[in-house]
Amino acid sequence: MNELIGKKVFYLEPIDGIDQYVDQFKLYRESGCDLTIGPYVSETEKVYSKDELIEIGNTYDAVIGMHREAFTRDIIMASNKLQMITKTGIGMDHVDIPAATEKGILVTNTPGQNTLTVAEHAITLMLTLLKKIPYNERHLREGHWRDNSTLSEEIFHSTIGIVGFGNIGKMVAKRLQGWDCILQAYDPYLTKEQIEGAGLNVRKVDWETLWSTSDVITIHCPLNTETRGLVSAKELEMMKPTAYLINTARGPIVKVSDLNEALRAGKIAGAGIDTHDGPEPVLPDYPLLDLHENVILTTHNAGWAGPGLARLAIVAAQNTITCLCGKIQNACNPEVEALWRQRFFQ
């Protein structure tokens, strides 16, 4: 008999549009668990209340989600049945991991599965800004042709600054090999040998050097207490007036009020922003919405590619099934193991 029969699993946020790549529910059903399917990720208006999440945490053994439902300390501490929280993705700013560890709840994510997709999106934003694609397209539709206003830049010999040299930062550097860029990175947790020894022609620089010398700066660090508001007026003031900022990491890493001021004052050349400081989806008063000439805004879409999402869904399912069977995989809080086993496997 399957050891997961009777285990209750709530897929809080199934992923839209990946049916052509994978049946995201198949592994759960084949495991024998009792699967409940919630609203799809795109149904952003369907958010569970605190009380509803606590009820879920007292009814289900595992929950799987992306980022719509925040598992705060209060919710986690009141969830007495929940064994694990599975993130379909990598960013964990919506889960209070210390609280989960204290409660004895395992938290997992799916590292590396959409790294390529996010890196491609970041590079696409770079090239689109450097080549003035939105402006050129609009210029043509308005009846104009090439002129001084449509002059673009080259990525050739440009200096690309990478903030955070983890999996995605490395993938950006890897994908830029052959473009003849000058690549430099800032990461306080990696040594010069670790960054420069990665074989990607990247040099380690300090914070001020990265901001003052880069032609494009791309953000690839996690959101936590150290990085919230990391990029503010101070950093934007250091940038060249011809430089561009790319953020495909997390919105609150960049202070949107300071970025808005820098863009409107012409202190930097432009920005490509996929993740936004404030509510997502953005509200009508989002300050960057009316900036069209030098700002590209996307819908937190950097990781939203079918093949990558299919990989996320499969690994999330494998994490859930494996861990409910008592074998830890892709844990964000491996230190919880002893308490977790004591609570659920004795």
| 43 a catalytic residue | no
- Please tell me which residue in 121, 250, 276, 311 is annotated as part of the active site: 250
| 141 a catalytic residue | no
For 62, the token pair is 């595992």
How far separated are the first and last CA of the chain, in Å rounded?
19
Identity (one letter) of the amino acid at 261?
A: E
Largest CA distance in the chain: 74
- Please tell me which residue in 153, 196, 280, 337 is annotated as part of the active site: 280
| 280 a catalytic residue | yes
Cis peptide before 281 (omega within 30 of 0): yes
CA distances from 169 to 78, 116, 342 (A): 37, 10, 38
Those residues with Cβ within 8 angstroms of residue 307's Cβ, 6 or more apart along the chain or in another chain: 21, 117
For 228, the token pair is 């919230």
For 249, the token pair is 């990491």
- Please tell me which residue in 94, 139, 300, 341 is annotated as part of the active site: 300
Write out the H or E segment, with its range, that includes residue 202: strand 202-204
Catalytic positions, written as ranges: 250, 280, 300
